[in-house]
Amino acid sequence: MGAGQEATADSVGEVGAASPPTQRVVKVLELLSRHPTDRLSLARIVREAGLSRATAHAVLTQLTADGWTVRDDDGCYGIGLRLLTVARRAEAAFPLRRTAAPHLRALFERTGDPVFLAERDGDSIVVTEVVGNPSAGWIRTGRRLPLAPPVCREFVAWAPEPARQAWLATADPVHRDRLALVLAEIRARGYSVERLVDDSTPMLEVLAGLRDSPITAALRAQLGSVITELITIDYLPDELGPENAVVTLAAPVRDAGGAVVAAVVSCPDTRLSAAALSELGSATVAAADRISAL
């Protein structure tokens, strides 16, 4: 690959980014943090972070000089003490993830499906712990999602009626009646199910990435409408068949007052029978209840 081609490769995925140099640093740190006990070669970092060799080398040289990363005698890189120190301090902002982690691992070992913890932070949801390797690219620690229809239903289903109505009022009018029925069904069975129209996952991920980029409010609203059209919102009882597409299944974690503060999310991303879906739902709810009791 020539120098011109390398520069082009660096720019892929950074169109509209507020600070491409910062994004490159974040890519490298995120990659290394996913392999905390490993040492990654420069070639692997170049490949998996999508950077040119020259850019990756420059980023790593500075990070290593500042103690964020370390470089061994073979020229491979890992996370440094400074990054570990910051990570430990940051954990204080999300104490639930520490107490939830063993229960997430137990659920993963029982079902074989990747699982993550999503915590509420104001009007957003933050992914704070991931166990396994979810197939959806958006599922990663630190990912933030708006608490907006039609997603994050498990955070709203048990809310007081005025809060549910306020949430429904922000939904596409076409979907409000269905969402109201779905919220009632989630309360009855104890968990939400995310399913997608066949073959829409790649398009949905691209659209979601664009929506999260620095764009105008009008364009973000239009993208939200397109995303909504790709989503078949949950399952109602009479819609379950011999095989049911299940991307994620989420059960609520409550605080001492009963408010939903987080969710345990299983990620089968496959087709399940009604019985298998119910079994996974029961296991996920049980894990969420154990975390709630801590």
pLDDT of residue 136: 79
Quick check: 112 pLDDT over 80? yes
Q: Which CATH fold topology does 94-292 show?
A: Beta-Lactamase (3.30.450)
Task: Dig out the tokens for 220 from the structure.
Answer: 């973000």
The separation between CA 140 and the C-alpha centre of its own chain, rounded to angstroms, equals 5
Q: Which CATH fold topology does 3-88 show?
A: Arc Repressor Mutant, subunit A (1.10.10)
Quick check: 242 pLDDT over 70? yes
pLDDT of residue 30: 87
Look at 152-161, 164-173, 184-193, 220-229 and tell me which has the smallest mean pLDDT.
220-229
pLDDT of residue 7: 39
Mean pLDDT of all residues in 211-215: 59
For 208, phi then psi, to 5°, come to -65, -40
- Give the residues across from 272 on adjacent strands: 244
Mean pLDDT of all residues in 53-80: 92
pLDDT of residue 6: 38
Question: Could you tell me the pLDDT band of residue 33, with boundaries at 50, 70 and 90?
Answer: confident
pLDDT of residue 10: 46
Quick check: 216 pLDDT over 70? no
> CA-to-CA distance for 270 and 268, rounded, in angstroms?
5
CB 207 within 8 A of CB 10: no
* Domain range summary for the chain, segments of one domain joined by +: 3-88, 94-292
pLDDT in tens, 3-25: 333 333 444 444 444 678 888 99
pLDDT of residue 229: 52
Mean pLDDT of all residues in 162-187: 93
pTM: 0.64
Task: Dig out the tokens for 191 from the structure.
Answer: 């968990």
CB 33 within 8 A of CB 90: no
pLDDT in tens, 68-103: 999 998 899 998 888 888 877 766 666 788 889 999
